[in-house]
Chains A and B, each alone.
Chain A
Amino acid sequence: MSEQTAQDAASDGAVDDVLLEDAVEAAAAERAEKLSTAPKADDGIAVPSLGALGMLRWTWRQLTSMRIALVLLFLLSLAAIPGSILPQQSIDPSKVLTFFQSHKTWAPILDKFQLFNVFESVWFEAIYGLLFISLIGCIVPRSWAHFKAMRANPPAAPRNLKRLPVHASFSTTADADEVLALAAKRLKDRRFKTVRGSDRSGGWVSSEKGFLRETGNLLFHLSLIGILAGVALGHFFGFKGAVLVTEGTGFSDTVTSYDSLTLGPGVGAQDLPNFSFVLNKFSATYQTSGDQFAQPRTFDAYVKFKPSPTSTAQNVDVQVNQPLSINGTNVFLEGHGYSPVVEVKDGKGRVLYDGPSTFLEQDEYFDSSGAIKAPAYTSGGTDLGFQGWFLPDAVIQSGAMPASIFPAAYNPMLILSAFSGNLNMNGGEDQSVYSLDTSAMKQLNVKAKGAAAAAGNALELKVGQTATLPNNLGSITFVGVKQWAQFNIAYDPGQKVVLPSAILAVLGLVGSLGLRRRRVWVRVSEQADGTRLVEVAGLARTEGATPTAEVTQTAQALAAAVRQPAPDGASA
């Protein structure tokens, strides 16, 4: 591969990639031939050391070839598919758990292949890792070649301009130098990189334009590296957490108050910002008619917020697209639901539990499920537990399970199964707050007379109602309804790198796909009749960019500018 070809090939986008590709392949083939042990026996000793190096070099060339990049791109798109179909640990861990419960054989096998964590799996990382190595291996030499190409002069004009795809000519009696100077000026004014020269057939101007195309191409690929670096930075120095807050309660930014918290390796608990807030009120409105009945329309979380322990509190309305922002840490409103407030007393009238319990929404009308745990007043006593449903707008039809018909709390109702026994809350194991461990409990017969048959053995309570438990075990009162809001709290310093990189990537793409690279030549030669023939010709260096108009206009402008009478009928 001569230097000229290498330089052109490396710097010329679509068309010349093929040349590069071919050259790389030829080189690889040549090398492979040399490496072959069969033909020459006397190379025997040298082969291993050469071989290792050669193999390495061969692998490198393969890896940085367009063909392998293409294969890796396909692999990357295929590898992403399972991540969208199977539940992912990083997106919704509870769904992964459900999947494990319902696919006892398959789930562990899929898990072995990290299919529940596709985007952090070894194989996904391997693919994009190789892709980025391939990209760097391709882009760095190309950047250098492009840098040299931008400094170098356009190549000399071809001898026969008529063979180019577009060619314009006229005859003139004007001086060759004058025409060439005019041509060079015109092309330079149009930001062509221009050079003059001469050979046996006469003087010429050679010019090229559209270097920004390759610049854009390189900028785009380099920006991808910037995006990757930003993502890594965010993972290392960022954190994200989630917290569920019920109306009237608050949150302070310490590790223990998060429901879940993922700290980057570069962040410690002491780095968490020390703000705090209290959820005063959560309000939601819903569509009340039509096709989109019950769809949410507004969410507002009214919080009292303190940026630091010493600062004064301020009232803020947090909405879905309006996060609360403190020094780069953002608090986002992520979800909401209901927390029925109940009071549970034991047989002696002592309060075992009084407060809100978080219930989780199960459908669009906010039929929510959850549990209420009331440990015995003295340890060793009888614990009481309830689990079941909260319906914000309950309708009871005979023969059907009571159900909610609207997400707003217009007619709240609790439907609870009651249990007594041991809640196992001191077992040391983490218990779900949304369900009871009934292994050491006995279900109580609490079926009320007027209750819906389909509800089964369950209490039905409206706000203000109290139910007495059998065997003098105590009572439960439905005191009222509160709402909870879930907040995501995130800090990602990588964004400062990712966003500018992404913007540069798009700009690079626009340049790389939108600009045309082309060459225009002007040649002036003496003719037999004493006049001079002026030829203008052009060549596209990128697909479908033949500069027909540019060549024609240059020829016309030159013809008009030389101001020398010329015999009509050019001898083109």
Chain B
Amino acid sequence: MSINENFAHYSNLFIALALVAYAAAFFAYCGEWAFGTSSRFGKSVEALDAEGKKVAKVGKQAAAPKAESVNATDGGNGVTVLTRAVAEDEEPTIAGDNLRAEILGRFAVMATFIGFGFHFAGVLFRGLAAHRVPWANMYEFSCAASLAMSFAYLTLLVLRKKVRWMGLPVTAIVLMTLGLAYTVLYTDAEELVPALHSYWLYIHVTAAVISTGAFGVATVATALYLLKSSNEEGSLRRFNSAFDRLPSSVALDRTAYRVIAFIFPLWTFAIMAGAVWAEKAWGRYWGWDPKETWSFIVWVVYAAYLHARATHGWKGKAAAYVALAAFACVLFNYFGVNTLLTGKHSYAGL
């Protein structure tokens, strides 16, 4: 089937528009952080500081007593049920009470949604133009993986999860990935090389795209966790006002773990599906091709992270560094293996 040139053209246009919208969102998020003030919690800590009480200095949230939430609900029959639970962390807002920051923040979220809409249309039209899944070369894979990342963030936002703090880093990464794809990795919409003529392209690469995007999200949380926890221990005091508006280090660490625990089985599946495909196309399910080797390395390092979290002396920061190393391997597996090493995973347009 031939390429639909019109659709291919629309796709490029939508990706360009998505870049503009994401850029607007990125700057608005920046503005929100810049104009915003510390949360009420941070302010009260400062207030305590000012009064000369030493309590707050010790470690802010970490030292604060665990708050309990008490909820009275009607159990029917005129019975009142009292529920007490250890309160989840209070979510600080990035804008604080600053009106300008709040407006910018809302604009940023709106722009992210618009950017996502264009981005989705861009990827969709690419697929329609070529009559296949739109992730068969490095340009398309980058577009799709950043779309997955953007989608993950917005879904959590729609589900009212506490992920507003991810806005800035997520748009930054999406903007970089998409920008790199548009300027450096771009290749026209074309048909596939024979090696990719398989329905496994849908299964294997889709799983890899989603995993890559999600590992990116987990890395954002991990990096922020490391910064936040060192701030809680008293360093980087200059940025206290920004750190106060991030969730607690415990919450950040938990977010990172949950994302990785959720996506690790999918990555395992992506490798497995790749092996099944490799058996079909190349006659062996595993041959230590550079891409296979590095996917294996990524898998082993994330496995090490999951074990590290359960090992005395490795919990917390050490495990977080393992997660960062694992993502470095993800990046090398993508950029390094595709451009520096030669193997069976080299296709048209990288």
Residues of chain A touching chain B, judged by Cβ–Cβ distance below 8 Å, are 13-15, 17-18, 21-22, 25, 66-67, 69-70, 73-74, 76-77, 80-81, 83-85, 88, 90-91, 118-119, 162, 165-172, 231, 240, 287, 290-292, 295-299, 319-321, 323, 330, 332, 334, 488-490, 492, 495, 498-499, 502-503, 505-506, 509-510, 513-514, 543-544, 546, 548, 551-552, 555-556, 558-560, 562-566, 568-570, 572
CA distance A505 to B303 in the complex (A): 13
Closest residue to B271 on the A side, CB-wise?
Answer: A502
Inter-subunit contact B83/A502 (CB<8 Å) = no
Q: Which of B43-51, B231-239, B273-281 contacts A (4 or more CB under 8 A)?
A: B273-281
Closest residue to A547 on the B side, CB-wise?
Answer: B85
CA distance A564 to B78 in the complex (A): 9
Contact of A77 among B78, B300, B337 (CB under 8 A): B300
Interface string of B190-209 (1 = CB under 8 A from A): 11111101101000000000
Could you jot down 7 A-B contacts, CB within 8 Å? A84-B337, A321-B194, A321-B195, A510-B265, A513-B262, A514-B261, A570-B82
Contact of A488 among B85, B258, B282, B329 (CB under 8 A): B282
Interface residue B59 (Cβ < 8 Å from any Cβ of A)? no
Q: Which of B98-106, B160-168, B213-221, B290-298 contacts A (4 or more CB under 8 A)?
A: B290-298
Measured between C-beta atoms, what is the minimum distance from A543 to chain B in Å?
Answer: 7
Interface size classification for chain B: 35 or more
CA distance A21 to B188 in the complex (A): 55
Q: Which residues does chain A contribute within 8 Å of B79, judged by CB atoms?
A: 170-172, 559-560, 566, 568, 570
CA distance A67 to B84 in the complex (A): 38
Interface residue B55 (Cβ < 8 Å from any Cβ of A)? no
Closest residue to A510 on the B side, CB-wise?
Answer: B265
- Residues facing A in B70-98 (CB within 8 A) are 71, 73, 75-86
CA distance A265 to B262 in the complex (A): 41
Contact of A66 among B276, B310, B341 (CB under 8 A): B310
Q: Which residues does chain A contribute within 8 Å of B306, judged by CB atoms?
A: 513
Known: A514-B262, A514-B265, A559-B81. A70 touches B304 (CB 8 A): yes
CA distance A488 to B282 in the complex (A): 8
Inter-subunit contact B311/A552 (CB<8 Å) = no
Q: Which residues does chain B contribute within 8 Å of A292, judged by CB atoms?
A: 187-188, 190, 348-349
Q: Which residues does chain B contribute within 8 Å of A569, judged by CB atoms?
A: 80
Residues of chain B touching chain A, judged by Cβ–Cβ distance below 8 Å, are 71, 73, 75-86, 187-188, 190-195, 197-198, 200, 254, 257-258, 261-262, 264-265, 268-269, 272, 275-277, 279-290, 293-294, 296-297, 300-301, 303-304, 306-315, 329, 337, 341, 348-349
CA distance A505 to B79 in the complex (A): 48
Inter-subunit contact A81/B268 (CB<8 Å) = no
Contact of A168 among B84, B200, B311, B313 (CB under 8 A): B84
Inter-subunit contact A502/B188 (CB<8 Å) = no
Q: Which of B86, B276, B337 has the most CB of A within 10 A?
A: B86
Known: A90-B288, A297-B193, A506-B272. A495 touches B75 (CB 8 A): no
Inter-subunit contact B280/A323 (CB<8 Å) = yes
Inter-subunit contact B195/A320 (CB<8 Å) = yes
Contact of B80 among A170, A323, A506 (CB under 8 A): A170
Given contacts A18-B312, A84-B290, A563-B77, 19 further A-B contacts (CB under 8 A): A69-B307, A70-B314, A77-B296, A77-B301, A80-B297, A81-B297, A84-B337, A166-B84, A166-B85, A168-B81, A170-B80, A240-B284, A287-B191, A291-B190, A297-B193, A321-B280, A509-B268, A513-B261, A552-B71
